[in-house]
A and B are shown apart, each in its own frame.
Chain A
Amino acid sequence: EAQVTQNPRYLITVTGKKLTVTCSQNMNHEYMSWYRQDPGLGLRQIYYSMNVEVTDKGDVPEGYKVSRKEKRNFPLILESPSPNQTSLYFCASRGRASGSISSYNEQFFGPGTRLTVL
């Protein structure tokens, strides 16, 4: 089944304790992205990656790191989490043109990770 998976789904941690949220997709997609969702603010893009070893900042990258060493994985790293990073996080992926325009442009979202930083 084509999907984007994230782990963990729920995480409660304390300020300053480094954490990693994993994201993996099995659709051979080039483009991957991380978002955070906060009430009243919609989704805001944190980082995105156009392909392996190619990453770029979204609108709210401060306090986050990413890496793209393999095509299928795009982990989100919080080196020193703070309470203002308490949020719902989504990973998404999107493929390149492969005969179907819709598959090229459509983003597939993971199930989300609810992070609480105390």
Chain B
Amino acid sequence: ELKVEQNPLFLSMQEGKNYTIYCNYSTTSDRLYWYRQDPGKSLESLFVLLSNGAVKQEGRLMASLDTKARLSTLHITAAVHDLSATYFCAALTTSGTYKYIFGTGTRLKVLA
């Protein structure tokens, strides 16, 4: 059964600093997703990672996928206040069912 663990749960960081959010998953999954959710809002798709070694970047966010280690990371470079949000990773089961399993989320607060 696919399980997704995300850490840390909470992250408070200063503007200008770098940090990484980790997403581990328990069984084979070829597709890893990252989403952003602002308070009181819906989820916005950030990245879709489809293969081992995949790296995608958008602004100050960079996501990568290591399928051998069953690990995806979301790296934040030189954080700014606008990045404050909750970030979720999710993996897709691909063995006969097509279910999305989400991590519990990382609430990021960037302090000025």
Contact = CB atoms under 8 A, between A and B. Distances in A.
Asked if A pairs with B, the answer is yes
Interface of A: 31, 33, 35, 40-45, 48, 50, 56, 58-59, 90, 92, 101-102, 105-112
Nearest to A43: B102
A50 B99 CA distance: 10
A102 B99 contact: no
12 contacts: A42-B105, A43-B90, A43-B100, A45-B102, A56-B97, A59-B99, A90-B43, A102-B48, A105-B33, A105-B50, A109-B42, A111-B42
Contact of B100 (A40, A41, A107, A112): A107
A45 B48 contact: no
Which 9 A-B pairs give the minimum distances between C-beta atoms? A42-B104, A42-B102, A43-B102, A109-B43, A105-B48, A109-B42, A106-B45, A111-B42, A42-B105
A24 to B, nearest CB: 15
Interface of B: 6, 31, 33, 41-45, 48, 50, 88, 90, 97-105
Nearest to A50: B98
B76 to A, nearest CB: 19
B41 to A, nearest CB: 8
Contacts of B99: 45, 48, 58-59
A109 B42 CA distance: 7
